A and B are shown apart, each in its own frame.
Chain A
């Protein structure tokens, strides 16, 4: 039933002779929560930036849903079907929560200047749909009562959820979350976990790049571990946890668990 959604083959990226990504290959299947972990400097962020078009890889190929995927500009990524959230929350602060999500609908809607000025019925209809869709997504992530609040007036955990709603508004094939648990307290993490599982169960594919090993082990279906730009282990959380190279990468050589 499952098919590979994002296939990454032998991606390389060097920075002045240092291989930040060294022949990285992974395959994310549709409908799973895929975790990418690794110690600091392992290449997680570089990978994320290559995937989202910020950096161009030196070599290697990406296939999204069976089609060649090669973003040349950051704004093409969302259109192609990969939406992201940011490690340090980046919302449109002075706009309301609802407007933030409505901006997420931008790539899937068409109203231009003429629609705005003339107010023709097709344009108004699209605008109403955008609004309704955004309300639904706010409710989906548990922010139904906050539609008219300024984004920066929301609590930290709510801002994270708003970012997820905004990303979902682009109708992504892959939702990539960059350290979504960063700065969250224990109860916020529990809520985040159930939200991520709900999103997966509703048919979405998620990629999680995360420091919090406990969260990743708990929520991910499969995990890849990066170290010094190479994939050192792939598998279910239970397998990866026992992998000797992973233990070595995290705890140092000679460690026994």
Chain B
């Protein structure tokens, strides 16, 4: 028998894994909420938003092998679109519009989500088109710049016409209303008292499942194979007749669309958006989730998101009491320890698991 690695995707194991994942997804808020209260369910909600983001970024970085350091820009585009379409901000700025819609805009989530996906995809193409001939580090720098440009634009588009309300951000974004149920309030459903964070959790979980489904289908399609071929060897891919420019644009657009959806949900969930939520640090955090988990491998990416979204919160919550118990006082600000551990975890992962914690068996690291 040769030492070569056989790649045999066992479908039985995959479906068992899927079942366990679904179970975990349904039960997670109850377990976490029981143990730590609503703050922790809120952390889970954010983890789900990060999963959507990371799955989008995974298409660009993991499948097509294009290093994108400004991915949070698409999250911002989605968030601001949702904020503008479902807050009083635009109506306050343009009285003519207010006369047209005296009740407020209150755009339905069914309209906002597709619009956010489309607009973000459009921005993906705008970013992609001029950068497609760049590779590796050069592409990373340009995408990083793009992320910053979007954030700075949002910060400064309060003049001459106040579109984004500048650094103050946009408040009073409507919570999601789904089939007449306001997810922003505690609801009684089927005899269960469901606080807002639980309601959002299930909405986000449903969208994660949808995006997951799309990613799995794409990964195993003609398009997915073409992306991976480009990642592995762009020149050989061209020689096989792949229009690599078009395929890369497609990866940017689809990845960005998922980012846009996540951003729109974020805005409705928070009720508030400001440029501060879309800094370079956020782009790097999402990239870290993809890389730490395992580029190009969906289960790995999800693991990376859950770990990196939960770990800082866990450390933040535990470091204060721990120091109290050990030394009788808090010596080091828990916030600093949190960042220290975060950095340490990433360094250890890079040293000992460079392909990610849960890499694809066919390997994806470029």
A residues contacting B by CB (< 8 A) are 52, 73-79, 83-84, 86, 90-96, 99, 102-107, 109, 111-113, 115-117, 119, 126-127, 130, 146, 148-150, 153-154, 166-167, 170
Q: Is the CB of B7 within 8 A of A106?
A: no
Q: Is the CB of B240 within 8 A of A153?
A: no
Closest B residue to A110 by beta carbon equals: B222
Q: Which of B217, B222, B231 contacts A106 (CB 8 A)?
A: B222
Q: Is the CB of B223 within 8 A of A112?
A: yes
Q: Does B363 contact A (CB under 8 A)?
A: yes
Enumerate chain A residues within 8 angstroms of B232, measured Cβ to Cβ: 91-95
- Digitize B216-255: 1 where CB-to-A-CB distance is under 8 Å, 0 elsewhere: 0110111111101101110111111111100000100010
Known: A90-B233, A113-B254, A153-B4. A78 touches B225 (CB 8 A): no
Q: Is the CB of A149 within 8 A of B239?
A: no
CA distance A91 to B228 in the complex (A): 12
Lowest 9 A-B CB distances belong to which pairs? A78-B241, A116-B221, A153-B4, A107-B241, A92-B232, A90-B236, A74-B238, A94-B363, A111-B222
Enumerate chain B residues within 8 angstroms of A83, measured Cβ to Cβ: 239-240
Q: Does B271 contact A (CB under 8 A)?
A: no
- Which residues 1-23 of B sit at the A interface, judged by CB distance below 8 A? 2-8
Enumerate chain A residues within 8 angstroms of B239, measured Cβ to Cβ: 52, 74-75, 77-78, 83-84, 86
A-B residue pair count with CB separations less than 8 angstroms: 123
Q: Which of A84, A91, A126, A127 contacts B233 (CB 8 A)?
A: A91
Enumerate chain A residues within 8 angstroms of B364, measured Cβ to Cβ: 94
Chain B contact patch, size range: 35 or more
Enumerate chain B residues within 8 angstroms of A75, measured Cβ to Cβ: 238-239, 241-244
Enumerate chain B residues within 8 angstroms of A77, measured Cβ to Cβ: 239, 241
Closest B residue to A146 by beta carbon equals: B4
Enumerate chain B residues within 8 angstroms of A106, measured Cβ to Cβ: 222, 225-226, 229, 240-242
How far in angstroms is the closest Cβ of chain A from B203? 21
Enumerate chain B residues within 8 angstroms of A167, measured Cβ to Cβ: 240
Q: Does B93 contact A (CB under 8 A)?
A: no
Closest B residue to A52 by beta carbon equals: B239
CA distance A94 to B363 in the complex (A): 6
How far in angstroms is the closest Cβ of chain A from B353? 17
Q: Which of B228, B240, B244, B365 contacts A95 (CB 8 A)?
A: B228
* Most chain A CB within a 10 A radius of its CB, from B217, B223, B239, B365: B239
Q: Is the CB of B240 within 8 A of A107?
A: yes
Q: Does B157 contact A (CB under 8 A)?
A: no
Q: Is the CB of A150 within 8 A of B363?
A: yes
Q: Is the CB of B250 within 8 A of A96?
A: no
Q: Is the CB of A150 within 8 A of B235?
A: no
Q: Does B362 contact A (CB under 8 A)?
A: yes
How far in angstroms is the closest Cβ of chain A from B326? 47
Contacts A106-B226, A149-B4 aside, 18 further interface pairs with beta carbons under 8 A come to A74-B239, A75-B238, A76-B241, A77-B239, A90-B235, A91-B236, A92-B236, A94-B232, A94-B360, A95-B229, A99-B225, A106-B225, A107-B242, A111-B221, A116-B220, A116-B224, A153-B3, A170-B241
